[in-house]
Structures are given as structure tokens and as C-alpha cells.
Amino acid sequence: MRITFVLAAADLSGGNRVISIYAQRLASRGHQVTVVSRPRRTVTLKDKFQAWWRGQSVPENRRDWPSHFDGLAGAEHRQIREYRPIAADDLPDADVVIATWWETAEWVAALPPNKGRKAYFIQHYEAHPGQDSSRVDATWRLPMHKIIIAQWLVATAKNRFGDGDVSFVPNAVDLQQFNAPPRGKQAIPTVGVMYSIVPFKGCDISLKAFEIAKKNVPDLKLVAFGNRSVTTELPLPPGSDFTRQPAQDQIRNIYARCDAWLVGSRSEGFGLPILEAMACRTPVIATPTGAAPELTAPGGGMLVGMEDPQSMAQAIERIVGQSDDQWQAMSDIAHATATRYTWDDAMSLFEAALARSR
């Protein structure tokens, strides 16, 4: 098949990691794959002043931002020159064209038939507090076959938008990139977090939980990584070990340095770091968002209440307070959960879903 993915932006987000994996693996199966994205919006003086005022990194104007599509193996990545909607003239003729978030779904819906049958790859319900959800909701009602990554999103399609004929294709994890040998607990109790100032990611909840737990576990250590520098808006605790934009082959080492990985999200489509940490044999403490309920159910992690750093702190204390044998048993379950379903399994389901697109 000739397959086109339409992206709003190429970056280092988890959603784009998933798309890049599908693009490369589809190409390796003999499909002709093109990814088309637009550049980032031009940063204005107002944007720079607001970032400075908030204590954030001052954004740059550049075209060469790193992304998961750099050096894309087997597939082609094209970036249009202007920040605008992607249109028919920007795309090759194809058999299937895939929208990858709500705004791109509007663009894809307007394409002529020669650009391909239309599919909508849904990784989240992308309406957040303070946002007008009407346009997002309208895209869920478009006559495009939906490929959905999490059971809660499948239920949303059916119960809220009356579409029960969707393809459920859960994420897997790249076991060549994310892996670690069996190990015991850390010599110094250590937990980790993905650093983000995006409110729905709930990093502030995880950091508050760390501060509470440290009162009872004085030698508790925090490691973190993220795509941006730490800001005064959301500082890390003193003594934290932070890595900005680590090399992709180094992220597993960060996960593997931890006794538990904290996911305090207020909203997630799936929550890929949960699987990544588990693949590196690290139990996860997570709020019940995205796929966390299914992934932690076997016992390789713990669910805690929403907006409840106190319960997350108690979970930290429970995990780091286990005996080495107890922790290793939990670590083994986490690893088994992450490895029971592979990208080969997901690819077969994704190909079948594309064949159903209309």
C-alpha cells in the first residue's frame, strides 16, 4: 500500500514516537510510506516575553528541531515550508491517508479521493480544560475509520459518539530500545519522573509526592528527564538528577536506575512511559489514566488516586520499603507485562485496520 501520515508537527512527543515506529515498520513490510508535517509556528516577541516572565526557556525560531522522524528508516519525511494547514498539493497520491490528531483530521477530511482512503489514528481525546471541545468532538463524528490505542478511548467512541465500529490497536514497546537485565533494589532508594510543565501531565503531583515521601525516607533520590529545561515555574527538589533530551539509547538507563517510576497524569491517551519503564523492569506508580489500569493490574505497578500526592507518597514508601525479593518479584511482573505484546502484534492489527479505512 501507499500510506501517508499527516502530522501537525514533528517532535519528540510520545505520540510521535508511536507514529514513527509504525511508519518504519510499515516500510519494512514493503509499504510505501510518507510522513508529511508542518514546521513549528514562528515564535513572536510576545511569546518570548511571556516565556521569560514565567521563568521558562525562551523559545527559538528554527526549522531543525529534533524529532522521532530524524533519520526515518525506509520511510520519507516531508516538512512543508509554512505554518499552515496541510493541503492536497502537499501530499502524494496514496491508497490510505491517516490523520494523527484532531486538527489533521479536519485537513484529511477535506482531501480528494486520490490522496487515499481516510483513517483517523486516535491516541487521546485531545480536548483539555479551558479549550473549546466542539471542533475536537466534530472530528470524532467524521466518516473515517478510527484506529484507537486504549480501551477508554474505544468506550469514548462508542458511548459518546455512537461509533462502535473501530479498530483497537494498543501500543507496544520497542524491546530493543527499552530493556534491562534483572536486578535488585537500588542501594539508595530512587524514583523517577518524566519532567513536563504541561498541566495534564501531572508532574507537579509526582514531585509533591516525592517531597512527602522523603520526609519518611530521608535518603530518597529523584531522577528525571524531559524535552525542555527545568523552570522556576516547576522546580525539581534539591539534589535531583535531571537529563535534558537524553539520547534515545540512554533513556533505558534512566528507567533502570529507579525502584519506581511515577506517573501522576491528570489525563493520558495511553501513557507510553508506563510500558517503557516496565520493559526496563521498573515498577510504576500511576494515576488511573490512559492504559494504566490495565497495565498495572497484573501487579507490576500500583494505581493511586487522582490529584492525590499523599497516596502516591504512600505507594513510594511501600515499594522502596519492600524486601529485595519482594521488589524483584514486582519487577519481574512489570517486565512480563511489557513484553507479552510486541510491535509485531500491533503491526498486524494496524495493517488490518488500514485495510478497513474508507
Q: Distance between CA 178 and CA 280 in Å, rounded?
A: 6
- Residue-wise pLDDT for 205-234, tens only, equals 999 999 999 999 999 999 999 988 999 999
Top-confidence residue, 340 or 58: 340
Residue 234's pLDDT is 95
> Same domain, yes or no, for 262 and 159?
no
> Same domain, yes or no, for 222 and 162?
no
> Same domain, yes or no, for 42 and 65?
yes
> Same domain, yes or no, for 111 and 153?
yes
DSSP label at 109?
H
> Same domain, yes or no, for 152 and 282?
no
% of the chain exceeding 70 in pLDDT: 94
Domain that holds residue 15: 2-172+342-355
Q: Distance between CA 72 and CA 282 in Å, rounded?
A: 29
Using pLDDT thresholds of 50, 70 and 90, give the confidence band for residue 14. confident
Average pLDDT over residues 167-172: 96
Average pLDDT over residues 319-332: 98
55 within a domain of the structure (yes/no): yes
157 within a domain of the structure (yes/no): yes
Asked whether residue 55 carries a pLDDT value surpassing 80, the answer given is no
Asked whether residue 356 carries a pLDDT value surpassing 60, the answer given is yes
- Residue-wise pLDDT for 255-312, tens only, equals 999 999 999 999 999 999 999 999 999 999 999 999 999 999 999 999 999 999 999 9
Q: Where residue 237 sits, what CATH number does that domain have?
A: 3.40.50.2000
Q: Return the sign of the alpha-carbon dihedral for residues 339, 343, 346, 352.
A: negative
179 within a domain of the structure (yes/no): no
Residue 66's pLDDT is 86
| Least confident interval from 46-55, 168-177, 227-236 | 46-55
> Same domain, yes or no, for 40 and 151?
yes
> Same domain, yes or no, for 54 and 132?
yes
> Same domain, yes or no, for 95 and 196?
no
For the chain, how many structural domains are there in total? 2
178 within a domain of the structure (yes/no): no
> Same domain, yes or no, for 242 and 129?
no
118 within a domain of the structure (yes/no): yes
Q: What is the residue-averaged pLDDT of the chain?
A: 93
% of the chain exceeding 90 in pLDDT: 86
Closest of 87, 108, 102 to residue 132, by C-alpha: 102
